[in-house]
Structure 1
Amino acid sequence: MLPNHFYRHGEVVIVGGEEPRPGLPAERLPGAMKCLVDFANANDGINELHKAAILHFAFAYYHPYFDGNGRTAWLFHLWYLVQQGYPAALFTSFSRYIAENKDAYYKAYERVERNALISGYTDVTPFLFYFCNGVYNRLQVDAVPPKTDLEVYQTALAEGKITEKERLLWEYVLSAYGAEEFTTKQLEKDFRNAAYATIRTFVMKFHEMGLLTARKAGNRVFYRVGGTSDGRPNESKRRTL
């Protein structure tokens, strides 16, 4: 991006659905993003789960950056849910759900666009329907860490044992990798905003707290959220939200 620009200064083409589509024109981004942030902070009485999905939709639809919009949309989604009292969302593999059925995710966007062409009005109902049925409903049966893990994280955060950078790294790991394994080098490359020493300290600290497990393969160590050290799901950590 250019100096003094918060968002992209050029146009982008978004691929993934049946047909590529342009992101919001660059000159409209500052105003649109301000409205989106104001909406996120407004106390408007909208159902929190629905509003989180709307924020996700709008951010990805605007595509304010040249790269990383999808993952940032997930982080925005998670941030809002946590602010509204859903800390378990930090332990939910939203990214895995979308990876398992990307077609439905992209088709939900396309339905919104097609309806808007006909009506002249942007109605995000198809995207909300996708999230309620394809993601939120699954939270009732999928494995998530138990309350004790949430308490470990929240206590460490409240006591100042987790830095702001480590908090951002944790939210990124949950959003970007979900239940998938990753290495410190991979996290450094993907996150792109932390030195390797910071990454290393983060994974070691969260491993010691029991929030990350490790699996050694040759000279490499693979980390993941939850589970057991050999990568198999830990059945004792299953609970219903």
Structure 2
Amino acid sequence: MGRVRVPAPLEKLMQEVKPEKFLRLLGKYKATDAQGRYLHWNDFKWRVESGDDELAAWGATKLARRSIAKELPLLQAEGDRCFSYCVPESLLAKLHAIDKLTGGSREIGASVPVSSYERSHYLIKNPIQEEAITSSQLEGASTTREVAKEMLEKNLTPKDKSQQMILNNYLLMQKAVESQDEELSLEFILELHRIATHKAIENQARPGELRNENNIFIADAYGENAFHPPDWQTLRERLTNLCDFANSDRSQSDNFIHPIIKAIVLHFAIAYIHPFGDGNGRTARAIFYWSILRSGYWLFEYVSISKFIQEKRGEYDRAFIYTETDDFDLTYFLYNQTDTIEKAVKSLYEYMDRKRREFYEFMEWIDRSPVAKTLKRGHLEILKAALRAPGREFTARQVAIDFGVTENTARSYLNKLVEKDLLVQAKPKSGKTVLYLAPANLKTRLQI
């Protein structure tokens, strides 16, 4: 990420640039450019038309933005200044696209012809696992996806701090989902942080405790654009105001805030306030999920945003810097996150399409296979997973958790498949847990 050029405040521009230069360009330069882009000075200065004074053009743009800006008085920035944001037409279009993607799909689980196990395991468990893993990797966890998924799937004890961070994030996501009907409070924020950082915290910080010092310095790759979080003595007041903002219902008021905007603002605000010595990012993303679910966007229980933040991490970090260096204008971060959210929701639908195709392929096999006709639904679900991953290990405990049955029932399913020569039973060198392996030639054995 290159150095960010910091724009001069509008008040200073008004003093330095002659009024007639502003006036001539007011109708020409608006809140966004002709392509709907909400440009920061860092990018804007290179796109000013030849012959136009770039400072005057920037001033005209800033005046256009200020005319549609909405201030957030509960969210203090520096001194007596507060954060604000705009909703230009191009951002409104992005919000509308997300609403369309998430608004008409209440029966998404029922509309996909899969079993109740598939719905709980693939619609809920897998996306939460994905969010837990990627959110941890954003914060420095180094465990591979394969190892992380095995740990979560088999309920294994974390072996190092990276694995602990992933398990914590998994529990954190579950907590956000379970608590969506609760109001945000300081105690709840501390609880989320405690879950996020249990046995996985740096900087001598303590889980569930606010920082009590100011020796935190955040900079870009060049050691520039430094950000010093607010004074630790203001944290409780800031978080109390943040909770008031989060809990307020403005759906019927003249000062309506779109629920997606509200959730994104909360995400940003926790990162800006930086209430903890470590774990702020994980806590911020959990509060985003809490807010969006509380607003009725139930589909986000299945949506993972961290994967797409990670893919464009430079743009994510730059959106923070743009906001902090341009009059605390949150619009830059809103554009960044609405793009991320739209990609994440579309990814969910692509995922469901794949599951639908897998289901139909599996049902075709059931119609053809003489072996399948002798098995119960539980057996078929295990075989479906085995077909997807030759060599996969199953245990009675893991199958019991996945299916919501007793370990004895799970063991009976697995033993039946061994009798049918569809799984291979094995014992590990150490321990008493019996393993059931998916053979590499399972398709042949099933006569697919």
Q: TM-score range by the shorter chain?
A: 0.5 to 0.7
Aligned residues: 151
Distance 1:29 1:203 in 2: 43
What letter corresponds to residue 82 of structure 1 in structure 2? Answer: L
CA RMSD of aligned residues (A): 3.1
Deviation at 1:90, TM superposition (A): 2.0
Kept in 1, the 8 Å contact 2:303–2:345? The answer is no
What letter corresponds to residue 9 of structure 1 in structure 2? Answer: N
Kept in 2, the 8 Å contact 1:17–1:103? The answer is no
Deviation at 1:77, TM superposition (A): 0.1
Aligned residue in 2 for 1:14: 218
Kept in 2, the 8 Å contact 1:60–1:70? The answer is yes
What letter corresponds to residue 102 of structure 1 in structure 2? Answer: R
Please, which runs of 5 or more residues in structure 1 have no aligned partner? 117-121, 147-201, 210-217, 220-228, 230-241
Q: Which has the larger radius of gyration?
A: 2
Deviation at 1:91, TM superposition (A): 1.6
Decide whether aligned partners of structure 1 residues 96 and 44 sit closer, same or farther in structure 2, where only a CA change above 3 A counts: same
Distance 1:41 1:205 in 2: 39
Deviation at 1:137, TM superposition (A): 2.0
Decide whether aligned partners of structure 1 residues 30 and 84 sit closer, same or farther in structure 2, where only a CA change above 3 A counts: same
Aligned residue in 2 for 1:138: 343
Decide whether aligned partners of structure 1 residues 139 and 113 sit closer, same or farther in structure 2, where only a CA change above 3 A counts: same
What letter corresponds to residue 208 of structure 1 in structure 2? Answer: F
Residue number among 376, 397, 402 corresponding to 1:207 in the alignment: 402
Distance 1:205 1:28 in 2: 48
Kept in 1, the 8 Å contact 2:308–2:344? The answer is no
| SS in structure 1 of the partner of residue 347 of structure 2 | coil
Decide whether aligned partners of structure 1 residues 17 and 127 sit closer, same or farther in structure 2, where only a CA change above 3 A counts: farther
Kept in 2, the 8 Å contact 1:7–1:65? The answer is yes
What letter corresponds to residue 80 of structure 1 in structure 2? Answer: S
Aligned residue in 2 for 1:111: 322
Alignment of 1:159-174 (within 5 A): none
TM-score, reference length from structure 1:
0.55
Decide whether aligned partners of structure 1 residues 88 and 8 sit closer, same or farther in structure 2, where only a CA change above 3 A counts: same
Alignment of 1:149-164 (within 5 A): none
Aligned residue in 2 for 1:129: 335
What letter corresponds to residue 68 of structure 1 in structure 2? Answer: G
Deviation at 1:15, TM superposition (A): 4.5
Residue number among 60, 63, 69 corresponding to 2:280 in the alignment: 69
* Residues 91-150 of structure 1, C-alpha deviations (whole Å, 9 max, x = no match): 21111111111111110011111112xxxxx220100011112x122144212576xxxx
Distance 1:137 1:108 in 2: 17
Kept in 1, the 8 Å contact 2:205–2:278? The answer is no
Deviation at 1:25, TM superposition (A): 1.2
What letter corresponds to residue 14 of structure 1 in structure 2? Answer: I
Decide whether aligned partners of structure 1 residues 205 and 102 sit closer, same or farther in structure 2, where only a CA change above 3 A counts: farther
Aligned residue in 2 for 1:81: 292
Alignment of 1:171-190 (within 5 A): none
Distance 1:206 1:138 in 2: 31
Kept in 1, the 8 Å contact 2:316–2:336? The answer is yes
Deviation at 1:42, TM superposition (A): 0.4
Distance 1:127 1:17 in 2: 19
| SS in structure 2 of the partner of residue 138 of structure 1 | helix
The percentage of aligned residue pairs carrying the same residue is 27
Decide whether aligned partners of structure 1 residues 98 and 35 sit closer, same or farther in structure 2, where only a CA change above 3 A counts: same
